[in-house]
Structure 1
């Protein structure tokens, strides 16, 4: 299990692959993402917890607390805006101060993106919970978008906790799973993922290897000796323990995943 990275959501656009298929993509950019610490703790059951602490986006020293200034100075990196840690396996620790690059991800693999969703304020039941609402024609008087009945009668005489009701919508930590990496630009540190990502533009997001379709699937197939299925189709290898800026110098500036379908312009035999 490798470490993840902290990126900034730059917005959405569209791409066309070599077969002419259109893909909506979200552009994520790594902004001075560096390793600031390697964490190892022992739990009560004597098992070990390993993690890599990552920080991103330079920050002015005068706007940083004294405690964090000391932490960054010890790591030998400039003050950063955001600091997060990613659980890893014991062999996936990365030297402190390492600059992570967009080549940490390989086109064709799948990633999970974690971010804070867009806050939408106080909303009703239809928008917040996708309720159907009441009848839009006859028999309903100015209650078309109400939530309907709230609960029981005299017994229990109250509303059960957890009832889906109007309230604050958005502004929560959301994980979007299994987004395919379409293109990697090591010059601008851009990662193009297929699909949408939570959060507003320029917000910080956490990007890591997909747990279900990559990490757990690889572990399952490796245990069954299905070595050809350990990595997704079209992916030969992943940078381990991480894709660094030094590694990016030896790779092409732009790497794009090949189309995984037959061309619609070639007649079938």
Structure 2
């Protein structure tokens, strides 16, 4: 359920420093001259996510000439519309950043949402989502987020609605092996087999894997690597495939397992060199904005994770 209200005051807009080791040498002096009082990312921080459109898949080549598939995700005027702070019954606090994307006409927007967007100072949007954050990761309302919010080399989770495949059998839906295609099997090669037990209990147990509708569900693809960002076209290239059809709205966030939880775990153990993936210095905090993108190269590509050339025979 969308929470269309906001509590508290707006935080002061911070300036972010360079955040990737491959870009520090190319960054302008404006980034390096940021004040020391700027809030920075910590291993316990949880940043907001972004809303993007899945544009399709293509291929890229790494430094060694190895070909790998990538999915192109594009931001469409992704802006912050609210900062949420709610006190639960146990007196714990819930913090979130509400993000909206993809402009829509005024005539197709309800009056309630028009008032909400007008209060935030942003044009009407097609999709509104909220991302849980830590108290130090609130973003000023009206801020336009950029593709540089995610750093090439980091891991992300992509959330979307999977392709609907209609009514499917057990082999496609649940990866059943099927029966033998040789002696002793009649026309039951792809049958599900027995679904019940004896007269006791005399019924089919709830949750039994049977034929049914496949797909059309919210899916989270975890730990995808960001290999390239283009701040001019607002493109994010992630390695591998993501759920959803082309032009579908997807949500991107920092990977919970390989970024957020692992950073907190390694920081508590004192292994600060393992807090972020190899090659990363820090993350844009509290978010990667249009202003930050102007101070960085328009295209940033992550170096290959391979140490040696895979085409050279081993000695």
TM-score range, shorter chain: over 0.9
C-alpha deviation, 1:68, in angstroms? 0.8
C-alpha deviation, 1:18, in angstroms? 1.4
**Aligned-partner SS, 2:189:** coil
5+ residue gaps, structure 2: 1-45
Q: Which residue of 2 aligns with 1:51?
A: 96
C-alpha deviation, 1:259, in angstroms? 1.1
**Aligned-partner SS, 2:171:** helix
Superimposed CA distance per residue, residues 119-156 of structure 1 (whole angstroms, 9 cap, x where no aligned partner): 00010111100011122122222221110000102000
C-alpha deviation, 1:266, in angstroms? 7.0
C-alpha deviation, 1:11, in angstroms? 0.5
Q: Which residue of 2 aligns with 1:227?
A: 272
Q: 1:100 aligns with which of 136, 141, 145?
A: 145
User: Equivalents in 2 of 1:70, 1:95: separation in Å?
Assistant: 18
**Aligned-partner SS, 2:242:** coil
> How has the CA–CA distance of structure 1 residues 46 and 114 changed in structure 2, closer, same or farther, with 3 Å as cutoff?
same
Matched, 1:162 2:207: yes
Ranges of 4+ aligned residues in structure 1 off by more than 3 Å: 265-269
- Aligned pairs for 1:197-208 within 5 A: 197-208=242-253
8 Å contact kept, 1:19–1:262: no
5+ residue gaps, structure 1: none
The alignment yields a C-alpha RMSD, in angstroms, of: 1.3
Q: Which residue of 1 aligns with 2:162?
A: 117
Q: TM-score, normalised by structure 1?
A: 0.97
User: Equivalents in 2 of 1:257, 1:37: separation in Å?
Assistant: 32
Q: TM-score, normalised by structure 2?
A: 0.83
User: Equivalents in 1 of 2:235, 2:200: separation in Å?
Assistant: 58
**Aligned-partner SS, 2:283:** coil
- Aligned pairs for 1:68-87 within 5 A: 68-87=113-132
Superimposed CA distance per residue, residues 10-63 of structure 1 (whole angstroms, 9 cap, x where no aligned partner): 001100011111121000001110000000000010000000000000011111
Q: 1:189 aligns with which of 216, 225, 234?
A: 234
More strand by share: 1
